[in-house]
Structure 1
Amino acid sequence: MTINLEQIDELRKRTNASYEDAKKSLEECNGDMVEALIYLEKHKKIKPEEKTATDNFGDFILGVKRIIKKGNQTKFIIKKGDSIILSLPVTIVVIVTVIAPYITVLALILAILTGHRIKFQGKNGEDMKVNETLDKVSDSVVNLKKKLVEDDVKATPPTN
């Protein structure tokens, strides 16, 4: 059976195999395209399609869109007692942090020191796992402040 270039090209198009592998598989299978596909598959000669730079860029853009969507659905909340002081999408918080990181960190530290609670809230109001850690940090700061005040009161001599 003679193998022609059209058969080889068709097999290469379907499998991304080399000319040599496509020709060899067609010869082994007497020109039967389906059998040649199976032959290449069994011998692990089928290569995945190579992605182009455009494909990779498109994947990158899709990933960024997913992250932004998730960030917009997740809220960053600062509370004092039961009242909400600030509620922003995480995307905005990230942008502000990139633009002014020192101010953002300072504001967060001040919020914690003044007894505010920081939390993240998911799309349907569900709590995030990071909130447990943030609560522990806030509790530790409150306990430290109480201890410092108690130590200060003990260290201060009474006035007569």
Structure 2
Amino acid sequence: MTTLEQVEKLRTMANISYDEAKIALDATNGDLLEAIIYLEKQGKVSSPSGSGYYSSEKAADADSVAYRKNCGDNHNNCNGRETFSSLLKRFGRFCMKMIRKGNANSFEVLKGEESKASTPVTAFVLLLIFAPWITIPLVIIGLFFGFRYRFTGPDCSGNAVNDAMNSAADAAVNLKKSME
């Protein structure tokens, strides 16, 4: 029984259609060499020139053709491996997606039910990354002065982070009351 892998290999080697490769393999019980000889006898494949061996130049060309056929001309994903440039492109698309989401959602500072400040999540994350020694203490001190924080936007409905921030604000209020 011929497999799809055998048919594809014969198609690549002999530059023939799927049906021709399948018929040749079925006629030779799945033997690739016999299938090539079978195709040569039918005139669908030309025999190698010279002493019967392929030159390294022709083999290199065949490998190049097979590589382009298997990998595509952009070579993004060949045999399960990605090129560095395709990885960079994927990482760039991921970063742009996160920035768009961060700009669509916002971090709000509340006093009671009134919003005192609002900033895009992207800006808040950048502050956390580049100035954590300022940002984190300000957020913690704000909790003790009765400020609450929340994330709002299309991607923040039913957010567990908001529940955790409410719990932190409640804990800060309870700690403040126990110190009085």
What TM-score do the two structures reach when normalised by structure 2?
0.57
1:119 aligned onto 2:137:
no
Q: Hey, what does 1:73 align to over in structure 2?
A: 104
1:126 alignment partner, SS class:
coil
Report percent identity of matched pairs.
27
Q: Aligned-residue CA RMSD in angstroms?
A: 3.3
Q: Hey, what does 2:121 align to over in structure 1?
A: 90
Matches of 1:31 and 1:89, distance apart in 2: 68
Q: How many residues are matched?
A: 121
Matches of 2:31 and 2:86, distance apart in 1: 30
Give the direction of change, closer, same or farther, for the CA distance of 1:83–1:5 in structure 2 (3 Å limit). Answer: closer
Structure 2: stretches of 5+ with no match in the other structure? 1-8, 18-29, 39-77
Q: Hey, what does 1:99 align to over in structure 2?
A: 130
Q: Hey, what does 2:23 align to over in structure 1?
A: none
1:87 alignment partner, SS class:
strand
Higher relative contact order (CA 8 A, sep 6+): 1
Give the direction of change, closer, same or farther, for the CA distance of 1:116–1:51 in structure 2 (3 Å limit). Answer: same
Name whichever of 106-115 and 47-56 sits farther off.
Answer: 47-56
CA offsets 1:94-116 (integer angstroms, 9 cap, x no match): 11222211110111011101011
Matches of 1:77 and 1:130, distance apart in 2: 13
Give the direction of change, closer, same or farther, for the CA distance of 1:84–1:30 in structure 2 (3 Å limit). Answer: same
2:91 alignment partner, SS class:
helix
Contact 1:80–1:117, Cα closer than 8 Å, also in 2: yes
Contact 1:121–1:127, Cα closer than 8 Å, also in 2: no
Q: Hey, what does 1:27 align to over in structure 2?
A: 33
Amino acid at match of 2:136: V
Q: Runs of 4 or more off by more than 6 Å in structure 1?
A: 3-6
Matches of 1:132 and 1:88, distance apart in 2: 19
Structure 1: stretches of 5+ with no match in the other structure? 12-23, 33-46, 150-160
Match runs of 1:1-160 below 5 Å = 7=13, 26-27=32-33, 48=79, 50-123=81-154, 126-149=157-180
